[in-house]
Amino acid sequence: MTVIGGPGVELDDEEVAAFVRRELEGLDVDGKRVCLVVPDATRSCPLPLLVRELHAALVDRVAGLTAVVALGTHAAMTDEQLDAHLGAPYPGLVVVNHEWWEPGTFVSLGTISSERVKQLSEGRLEQAVDVRINRHVTESDVVILVGPVFPHEVVGFSGGNKYLFPGVAGPEVIDLSHWLGALISSADIIGTRGTTPVRALIDEAAALVPARRLAL
């Protein structure tokens, strides 16, 4: 993991842009299909800056570049909203909503057994779960998760694999993870660092993703 900045440090746009460009220079993406998983408008970060630099660094190197908006089960964003959210239309970048309402959106990655769910949930739940995810993720060689990390009332802290599950996941893992969070209670889990039971379940599901996973 490479880090820039820290507590009490405010980075300007050029420092952030230079950091993104530098990190991507050595990334093995030439001729590969890359999927950016980005938050919707319910999450705040300098997304236009990040997407602009990712696009500039990748578009001429990769075989395909797609950005999937991690709606979870939120409302879809219009084309106008997407342009404003990401900064502008970018030539060569395909932008799509996670169409959670369309059955054809999903590909099954396998099943987490009831015994494993019991272990991960520390005995709170014992049921198998089908792990389904947006097909754009499975059709990519490299997935870059782009977005902020905030205290979260279901997981403990957001970010990372949470942009996959529940961000672009099927309802099975979404429902199970939120029910597990409810059993723990939001008051007890929000702001908990490290691997909470819900985070452990999400990471277990994300481990089934065949693509290389990176986070910004």
Residue 111 lies in a domain: yes
How does DSSP classify residue 141?
Answer: S
- 198, 155 contact by CB (below 8 A): yes
pLDDT tens track for 97-113: 999 999 999 999 999 99
User: Among candidates 72, 92, 70, which has minimal Cα distance to 82?
Assistant: 70
How does DSSP classify residue 192?
Answer: -
- Reported as a pLDDT band with limits 50, 70 and 90, residue 8 is very high
Task: Over range 73-91, report the average pLDDT.
Answer: 94
Long-range contacts of 71-78 (CB under 8 A, 24+ apart): 71/40, 71/97, 71/98, 71/100, 71/167, 71/168, 72/98, 72/100, 72/166, 72/167, 72/169, 72/174, 73/100, 73/166, 73/171, 73/174, 74/40, 74/42, 77/40, 77/41
The per-residue pLDDT for 216 is: 96
Residue 107 lies in a domain: yes
Residue 177 lies in a domain: yes
- 172, 129 contact by CB (below 8 A): yes
Amino acid in position 77: M
Total domains, the chain = 1
Q: Give the CATH number of the domain where residue 130 resides.
A: 3.40.50.11440
Q: Which two tokens stand for residue 161?
A: 């694999």
The per-residue pLDDT for 165 is: 97
- 98, 135 contact by CB (below 8 A): no
Beta strand pairing call for 156-157 and 151-152: antiparallel
Average pLDDT, the chain: 96
- 178, 154 contact by CB (below 8 A): yes
Residue 24 lies in a domain: no
pTM for the complete prediction? 0.95
Residue 164 lies in a domain: yes
For residue 4, is pLDDT > 90? yes
- Reported as a pLDDT band with limits 50, 70 and 90, residue 189 is very high
For residue 1, is pLDDT > 90? no
Q: Give the structural domain span for 37.
A: 29-215
Element (H, E) at 204: helix 197-206
The per-residue pLDDT for 19 is: 96
Residue 202 lies in a domain: yes
Residue 17 lies in a domain: no
The per-residue pLDDT for 12 is: 95
Task: Over range 2-14, report the average pLDDT.
Answer: 93
Residue 157 lies in a domain: yes
The per-residue pLDDT for 180 is: 97
pLDDT tens track for 16-75: 999 999 999 989 999 999 999 999 998 899 999 999 999 999 999 999 999 999 999 999
